[in-house]
A and B are shown apart, each in its own frame.
Chain A
């Protein structure tokens, strides 16, 4: 919708001639078609990707701002990114690994845990922070125009950068426990992209809902807690009774997390789980982009 048009250039006349003089008129060449068309909300429209692309610099700066501010305020800075999944691993290792003794298929439990808590931490942080992001940017939303989708998407990008830092630790653990890397490691980037898309899908939808219903913000921690337990993070999916497994893998996170761990640790790959997850992720992404678009127009009015 918005585009840089070289034909539009403001005249650089230096003469000061109030009131308006006719020469300004002739010096500005207007484009044939309007750069901006403002129309009432249509019921069926999709996120305007060209407009998003035109505002890409804003996206970089939103990510930059968040990283910058975070590291200014915290003492440990980037260390937290590693500590968060690390500490969770420690907690579950003590309670589930030593006390409950969850059976794991041929890998040490700490490694088994961390390999899943790492993507999970990314996903849950991305969903949580993008869900709150629009409400937190209320001030900007009521004062300036920009594609609103930038705000939650930037939050996912911030969490993705955290994830990449924390990933270094898993490499250390793999070397420490002497796990042999396999070719399936090459699938990891695809899985990370898949997980990112799922986080965007869920984050966009919850962020838009949270603008209208603040209850969503209250429900999110509970929802995420539940989501963690219905995903194969602290236990292997093989512990789920076989007759429930079809239902179990309808959770799009289940296929991603299990395969992420499988690729990293050289465990058997669950292809069906991943295909189901990909289909559900795509459907969610389309639904949430559409829902966001529909709610977006009234953000400034109801936020």
Chain B
């Protein structure tokens, strides 16, 4: 069986100088531009000092239909991995080959415009998520029914309650049908009823044989959904024989980290700070 996703020696390096100062002023830019050729001549060692590998030497294959869970502490590189797979950011090294269409949900409701109505936002959001307009039209009634906001469909979403907003956003996302689905903590929002709905939708997706990438801190969801689990820590990825072992291993490492922060976890939290300041 051929894999649907092949990841080979993937790495992503962030430049700390850039990360600390996301929006350099023109003066800094001019100084930087003058200094740049000198730094370039200095070779890679110079830049290595100011950079941080958020992810490195990551290789794995995913078979079609697998549901892969990714767990790890905050700032371990999970989101970076998902962002590379979703093509939001480029890797610094390595390669990825994907044999199918990818739909990524790093959050729900991306591109929602507060002044547009629920109806208009369904069309807009769907096309942003990569759905064809004809497909959205076909599924429109289904999406509306799923969202349970029929009466408010022609009202600008800025007047929606957060629950309505969330349901509408999730309804669109739930009708995305790519071969590969990438999910980042989408289930972490909403109340119990909402989460239940999400989980049942996930089950449906899985039963259709689609490949799912799923980042979560919810170990129960991971255990229920995934047939493979990767632990990401300090930018390294480790595969585990089965989900139960992975969760046990992760829980154990988490307990250790609680007692005294290990080097790896400090590395992780450094990344986390960087992400927060960016």
Q: Which residues of A approach B to under 8 Å, CB–CB? A: 2, 4, 8, 10-20, 24-28, 30-31, 34-41, 57-58, 61, 64-65, 68-69, 72-73, 139-146, 212-215, 219, 297-298, 300-303
Nearest-Cβ distance from residue B58 to partner chain A, whole angstroms: 12
Q: Which secondary structure dominates chain A's binding surface?
A: loop
Cα of A178 to Cα of B106 in the assembled complex, Å: 60
Which residues of chain B (82-99) have a CB below 8 Å from chain A? 83-99
> B92, A143: Cβ atoms under 8 Å?
no
B63 contacts the other chain (CB 8 A): yes
> A214, B23: Cβ atoms under 8 Å?
yes
Q: Which secondary structure dominates chain B's binding surface?
A: loop
Residue of A nearest to B203 (CB): A16
| Segment touching A, from B64-72, B160-168, B231-239, B247-255 | B64-72
> A39, B95: Cβ atoms under 8 Å?
yes
Residue of A nearest to B14 (CB): A301
Q: How many A-B residue pairs have CB under 8 A?
A: 170
Per CB-CB distance, the 9 closest pairs between chain A and chain B, nearest first, are A24-B65, A34-B97, A24-B209, A38-B96, A11-B209, A215-B26, A145-B87, A36-B98, A19-B227
- Count of B interface residues, CB-CB < 8 Å: 67
8 further A-B contacts with Cβ under 8 Å, apart from A18-B206, A20-B67, A31-B99, are A18-B203, A36-B87, A57-B132, A143-B88, A145-B87, A146-B128, A215-B25, A302-B18
Cα of A145 to Cα of B98 in the assembled complex, Å: 15
Q: Which residues of B approach A to under 8 Å, CB–CB? A: 1-2, 4, 6, 14, 18, 22-26, 29, 63-67, 83-102, 104, 106-107, 110-111, 113, 115-116, 120, 123-124, 127-130, 132-133, 156, 177, 179, 203, 206-210, 224-225, 227, 278
> B115, A73: Cβ atoms under 8 Å?
yes
B residues in contact with A28, CB < 8 Å:
4, 64-65, 179, 209
